[in-house]
């Protein structure tokens, strides 16, 4: 089951890394791209990978300890507060899509 979870996690990370720059290119006006939209996404993705790498230092080395330890749940669960925050921000604060917002304020 853990191998399947790692496969899905790796696939989704790969899709995210490949599609985010294209989505930014299509939705953010070109005059705003230089203000951090292009780099901030990659910085956050790389910091997240670094966080997982640092958290993985606490994993036990032996196979017996791995079968009894639940530390891997901390690694996978560390993203939950960030995901809940993102969902709440999109639901209550940032309700508009970038394209709708830019059309409303006159950016084309």
Predicted confidence at residue 81, as pLDDT, reads: 87
What are the per-10-residue average pLDDT scores of the chain (108 residues)?
81 79 73 62 76 82 80 81 83 69 70
Predicted confidence at residue 98, as pLDDT, reads: 63
CB 28 within 8 A of CB 98: yes
Predicted TM-score of the model (pTM)? 0.47
Alpha helices by DSSP H, 28-97: 30-32, 38-55, 63-68, 71-77, 80-92
Q: Cα angle vertex 60, ends 58, 61, to 5°? A: 125
Q: Domain ranges for the chain, please list them.
A: 2-105
Predicted confidence at residue 35, as pLDDT, reads: 59
């Amino acid at each position: 089951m853990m191998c399947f979870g790692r496969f899905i996690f790796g696939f989704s990370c790969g899709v995210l890394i490949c599609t985010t720059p294209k989505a930014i290119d299509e939705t953010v006006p070109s005059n705003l791209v230089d203000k951090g939209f292009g780099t901030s996404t990659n910085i956050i993705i790389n910091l997240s990978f670094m966080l997982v790498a640092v958290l993985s230092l606490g994993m036990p080395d032996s196979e017996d300890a791995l079968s009894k330890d639940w530390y891997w749940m901390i690694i996978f669960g560390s993203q939950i507060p960030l995901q809940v925050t993102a969902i709440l921000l999109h639901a209550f604060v940032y309700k508009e899509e970038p394209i709708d917002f830019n059309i409303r304020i006159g950016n084309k």
